[in-house]
Amino acid sequence: MKYVRILFAVALVFMVCSAFSFKKGKEGKEKVVYAFGVAASFNDTVVYFTDIQVLDSIKLDKGGFLPKRDLYTYQLKNYLEFDLKCPDYTCMIYFSENKKKLEKESAKVKSKYKKNKSIVLMPIDPDAFRFKKPEE
């Protein structure tokens, strides 16, 4: 009976340790975060948008939000103001770990703008603008 208890205790410890290591391995796998940006102005009929891009070395926080997401929108705003000479644009960033979901969201956002016939959708060249990880 003594050996059965010891064997049971060792088996229990082994199962608990392997369960934690399996869970850690699953969480330790870093997911890729995708994003696209949209810029619109009340003073202009042109709406700019970026392609869906992979954000380098980014991990969403516990709430599922993109850390420093405001800095990503400022990157797009600065590109429009300084490179394209388009001031007064409001910029938004959409992000997700699921690329398919983000593609659907992109199509949904574009379709809302396409409903208004006076609005022109202007893609931003991916070679000209890429989101970069903000410095810490």
What does the pLDDT look like over 83-127, one tens digit per residue?
999 999 999 999 999 999 999 999 999 999 999 999 999 999 999
Higher per-residue confidence, 127 vs 23: 127
The two three-digit tokens of residue 119, written as one number: 């609005």
Distant-in-sequence, close-in-space partners of 25: CB < 8 Å, separation ≥ 6: none
Residue with tokens 């042109």: 46
- Euclidean distance between CA atoms 49 and 28, whole angstroms: 33
The two three-digit tokens of residue 101, written as one number: 């979901």
- Average pLDDT over every residue of 33-47: 96
φ, ψ of residue 111 to 5 degrees: the values are -65, -35
State how beta strands 90-96 and 33-40 pair. Answer: antiparallel
Entry pTM: 0.75
Q: Which residues pair with 39 in a beta bridge?
A: 48, 91
